[in-house]
Chain A
Amino acid sequence: MKPLPLIACLGTALVGCGSLPRDPDGTLQRVRSEHAFRVGIIAGAGTPGGNAETAAFIARVSRATGARATVRDGASEALLLDLEAGGLDLVLGPLSPKSPWADEVAILRPIAEPVAPQHLVVAPIARNGENRWIMLLEREADAVARGAR
């Protein structure tokens, strides 16, 4: 492979990359076009009405996307399986970075830190690779975390 043509190709590709990243499965695009996103809350992590940070986070994501959240509670295993299968767009709750799920889903920066004994962090969890959606979630999680401090 010759370096110059390759560099030219890469340069051309980079020029057209203003809108990067995009989601392989188009999560953010769908959320915006359908004005809806599906949230699972791990039981015990609080509900939108019961946990200030979780509620604030969902409200911020709603505002940022112009979409309405459909929320349901459940056990972590069931919710994460559904997230992986594309049945949910977002899961909120405590999940250890050492959990076997850590490689299967994207555990984002936490929005709140629950108290002992487990010291698990409440974080948004998204499907791996949906990078545009993940960027938006991270931005809103940071805003909530800053407000909580």
Chain B
Amino acid sequence: MSSLDRVPAPIRADMKRAIRLEWFNIGFTVSIIVVMGLVLGNSQTMKTAWIEDALGLIPPVVFLVASRFERKKATRDYRYGFHRVHSLAFLIAAVALASVGAFLLKDSVMTLLSREHATVGTIHLFGHGFWLGWLMIAAQIYSIIPPLVIGHLEMPLSERMQDEVLHTDAKMNKANWQTGAAGIAGIVGLGMGWWWADAAAAAFISVGIISDGWKALRVAAAELVDGMPRELGSTSLDPEAKRLLKKLQDQYPGADIRLRETGRYIHAEICGVDPDRRQDLEALWPGKPERSWRLAQLSFVPPDQD
């Protein structure tokens, strides 16, 4: 049995949409990397934005890999199945997001400290000399549009699917379009003679990206050490999980109730109680019935074996 078997059809349709969206995301990101690479020049802002766009490939790639594994059934060597690949993918995406923020902050602070004045010269096109900054701005505008659209489409999907990797990718897309906007402000600022403008804008934006990346890292770490399920995109405990915990505590007073999250699913363990009857997972779910698929497993550990 694969983890997806209990997932209702609308969520499975969302997953297919998310996979399609991530392929588009990869295609557009590669095209952005090529376009930006053609007009990099000497601008540090452009180089930074280019590296960030390249790092932006990590979340969609790990999402696609994790989704592929999620569809696989348990094997002889992996008897628990592959739920946890999603947790691993989330950690990788979180590291990528935090790295982008840290990289951007370091780069912009160094530029400000060294008072680096970027040289942006001319380029010859169609027999005329143009300031390369205009081409850089055009490339940055192109680099803003796909992540802006894709990120907005990903956010509601990630909420319905309870998908931290997709949610982190939506954040990465937000980071990318914001960096692109900072890049435009930077090139315009450079053109105005304000050498510090791009670095200051990038430093301001990097703080938000680092905060999102750090939050994602904390949640990913909590998931990997079997912490209580966390709310999507937040380090707070998941309200649905808290209600489930309360319900189980009421049903099994004195038992040690343990909840953990593997990818999008919740596993519950009742320790110190003999399994008295077969629980109906859907009936046990305290939240909206259409999200009851999140409770993937309920297991009992008898008192003498805890």
Query: Which of A131, A134, A135 is packed against the most chain B CB atoms within 10 Å?
Result: A131
Which B residues are CB-close (under 8 A) to A22? Answer: 191-193
A33 to chain B minimum Cβ distance, whole angstroms, is 16
- Which residues of chain B (180-197) have a CB below 8 Å from chain A? 181, 184-185, 188, 190-195
* Interface residue? B229 (CB, 8 A): no
Total number of A residues with any Cβ neighbor in B under 8 Å: 27
* Interface residue? A13 (CB, 8 A): yes
* Interface residue? B118 (CB, 8 A): yes
Alpha-carbon distance A22/B116, docked complex (angstroms):
16
* Interface residue? A108 (CB, 8 A): yes
Alpha-carbon distance A78/B131, docked complex (angstroms):
30
Which A residues are CB-close (under 8 A) to B129? Answer: 135, 138-139, 142
Alpha-carbon distance A137/B137, docked complex (angstroms):
23
Query: Which of A3, A126, A130 is packed against the most chain B CB atoms within 10 Å?
Result: A3
Query: Which of A6, A20, A108 is packed against the most chain B CB atoms within 10 Å?
Result: A20
Query: Which of B116, B178, B190, B191 is packed against the most chain A CB atoms within 10 Å?
Result: B191
Closest to A136 in B: B122
Flag if B121 contacts A20 (CB, 8 Å). Answer: no
* Interface residue? A21 (CB, 8 A): yes
Flag if A131 contacts B184 (CB, 8 Å). Answer: no
* Interface residue? B177 (CB, 8 A): yes
Picked from A3, A10, A108, A135, the residue with its CB within 8 Å of the CB of B131 is A135
Which of under 10, 10 to 19, 20 to 34, or 35 or more describes the interface residues of B? 20 to 34
Which B residues are CB-close (under 8 A) to A130? Answer: 117, 119
A20-B177 contact in complex given A14-B137, A106-B121, A128-B117, C-beta closer than 8 Å? no
* Interface residue? A73 (CB, 8 A): no
- Which residues of chain A (18-42) have a CB below 8 Å from chain B? 20-24, 26
A146 to chain B minimum Cβ distance, whole angstroms, is 11
Alpha-carbon distance A134/B190, docked complex (angstroms):
13
A7 to chain B minimum Cβ distance, whole angstroms, is 8
Closest to A3 in B: B148
Alpha-carbon distance A139/B129, docked complex (angstroms):
7
A139-B122 contact in complex given A10-B184, A10-B185, C-beta closer than 8 Å? yes
A125 to chain B minimum Cβ distance, whole angstroms, is 11
* Interface residue? A1 (CB, 8 A): yes
A134-B181 contact in complex given A17-B191, A23-B193, C-beta closer than 8 Å? no
B57 to chain A minimum Cβ distance, whole angstroms, is 22
Flag if A20 contacts B178 (CB, 8 Å). Answer: no
Flag if B181 contacts A131 (CB, 8 Å). Answer: no
Which A residues are CB-close (under 8 A) to B148? Answer: 3
* Interface residue? A87 (CB, 8 A): no
Closest to B152 in A: A3
Which B residues are CB-close (under 8 A) to A3? Answer: 148, 177, 181
Flag if A24 contacts B194 (CB, 8 Å). Answer: yes
Picked from B116, B177, B184, B193, the residue with its CB within 8 Å of the CB of A21 is B193
Picked from B121, B137, B188, B190, the residue with its CB within 8 Å of the CB of A108 is B121
A22 to chain B minimum Cβ distance, whole angstroms, is 4
Which B residues are CB-close (under 8 A) to A23? Answer: 193
Flag if B193 contacts A10 (CB, 8 Å). Answer: no
* Interface residue? B95 (CB, 8 A): no
Flag if A131 contacts B185 (CB, 8 Å). Answer: no
Flag if B121 contacts A134 (CB, 8 Å). Answer: yes
* Interface residue? B255 (CB, 8 A): no
* Interface residue? B59 (CB, 8 A): no
Task: Identify 7 new A-B residue pairs, CB closer than 8 A, beyond the known A126-B119, A134-B119, A142-B124.
Answer: A1-B208, A17-B192, A20-B192, A21-B120, A106-B42, A131-B190, A139-B122
Q: Please list the residues of chain B having a beta carbon within 8 angstroms of any beta carbon in chain A.
A: 42, 116-122, 124, 129, 131, 133, 137, 148, 177-178, 181, 184-185, 188, 190-195, 205, 208
Q: Please list the residues of chain A having a beta carbon within 8 angstroms of any beta carbon in chain B.
A: 1, 3, 6-7, 10, 13-14, 17, 20-24, 26, 106, 108, 126-131, 134-135, 138-139, 142
Interchain Cβ contacts under 8 Å between A and B, 9 examples:
A10-B184, A14-B137, A17-B188, A26-B193, A128-B117, A131-B120, A131-B121, A131-B191, A135-B129
